[in-house]
Structure 1
Amino acid sequence: MRRQLLPRDLGFDVLPRDEPSLFKWFLASFLFGNRISQEIAAGTWRVLVEVHGRDTPARLCECTHAQLVRILGEGGYRRYDESTATRLQRLCRTLLDDYEGRILGIAEVAGTREEFERRLLEFRGVGPVTLAIFMREAGPAVFGPA
């Protein structure tokens, strides 16, 4: 079994209560959670974040659907590019509309880790695999060590 990629493999750490690193990891977890290779997911994350600067919900929402599909394709994320683009746009729009564009906004509304996880699972495209990947690093950063 291969080692799971971590934030440091992408060039950053998830820091306690740090919104930029939490969103970057959420975006990476979202990509890693699909049935696609880690290498392609990591490459696509790099194209989104490092090449195109789409490192916040607002910046990601500035993309049209066609632009986002093109960016995903640049990263090699072709098999699910249309559906992934749609889900990413909805995810970012919900973050902006319901949680002030912040992962920590979800935590503040939720109050508990369990409610936070339940709310994350409400995002289309976030299932148990994506949640587990995200919470492995983000859980302690949002709620402190277990």
Structure 2
Amino acid sequence: MTAKTGRKTARSGKTGRSTDKAAVRALLEHQPHTYAAEAGIRLRNTPAPLYQMLVLATLLSARIKADTAVAAARALFDAGFRSPRSMADATWQQRVDALGEGGYRRYDERTSTMLGEGAELLLERYAGDLRRLREEPDPRAALLDVPGIGPTGVDIFLRDVQGVWPEFAPYIDDKARDGARRLGLPTAPGKLGGLVDDRELPRLADGLVHTALDQPFADEVRAAARAV
């Protein structure tokens, strides 16, 4: 009797893991890119892309659609504002115009001010290089000093940079866990991280956030997972 129960439990665990993997595969197929990649950022552990990710995190922190924030980030980068120095050297109006070009009109003026102040802070404190911030005793607290970056912004930034700052991986924040629950996946970061290769962690985290924020997207992923 005990042996039978043990075998049933083992099979159940195996089935559960297979179901989780099917859900994750479906999620990654529906989320082919991270938010960073959609904004044209090729994340590496070098100053420019790290800063660009911080800009994107600032834009995504506002109560605005993710695709609008991504479009606004692209517009800023296309305008040449790809580093703290170029962002600080731009005029307030130039930043406003670029944000408007990307459709980020509701928060454009306040965000232009925050981007300028944030760039100045990074230049003064870290010579514009976020790798120096990484060396701080508490990088999360240091990120919170940047204008426009609150706890949500920290989560957004670290979700994507965990691919190049592996000490933060697996980074699964509260919003990503909400998405995991919606798909019936485990919510513990270690268990979720174990379902993918390390290089896929940023895309998994962004996909889970997308799931939490978009019910039709979640329904599509669930349907695809059931079809596997």
TM-score for both structures, normalised by structure 1:
0.85
Query: Residues 34 and 160 of structure 2 are in contact (CA less than 8 Å); yes or no, is this contact kept in structure 1?
Result: no
Is 1:80 the counterpart of 2:107? The answer is yes
Shift of 1:20: 2.0
Does the alignment pair 1:67 with 2:90? no
Q: How large is the RMSD of aligned CA atoms in angstroms?
A: 2.0
Decide which structure has the larger Cα Rg and report it: 2
- Are 2:132 and 1:105 aligned? yes
Q: Are 2:8 and 1:8 equivalent residues in the alignment?
A: no
3-state SS of 2:165 partner: helix
User: Would you say 1:128 and 2:164 are equivalent positions?
Assistant: no
Equivalent position to 1:94, from 102, 121, 128: 121
- The within-5 A match list for 1:19-98 is 19-49=47-77, 51-98=78-125
Q: Can you list the C-alpha shifts for 1:92-132, whole angstroms capped at 9, x where unaligned?
A: 00000111011112123x14xxx111010112211111110
State the 4+ residue runs in structure 1 displaced beyond 4 angstroms.
2-5
- Which shows bigger deviation, 18-27 or 136-145? 136-145
Aligned pair count reads: 139
Q: Which has the higher contact order (CA 8 A, sep 6+)?
A: 1
Question: Structure 2 length as normaliser, TM-score?
Answer: 0.56
Q: CA deviation at 1:10?
A: 2.5
CA distance in 2, matches of 1:126, 1:81: 16
CA–CA separation in structure 2 for the residues paired with 1:13 and 1:72: 21
Unaligned segments of structure 1, at least 5 residues: none
Q: What's the secondary structure of 2:62's corresponding residue?
A: coil
Shift of 1:73: 1.1
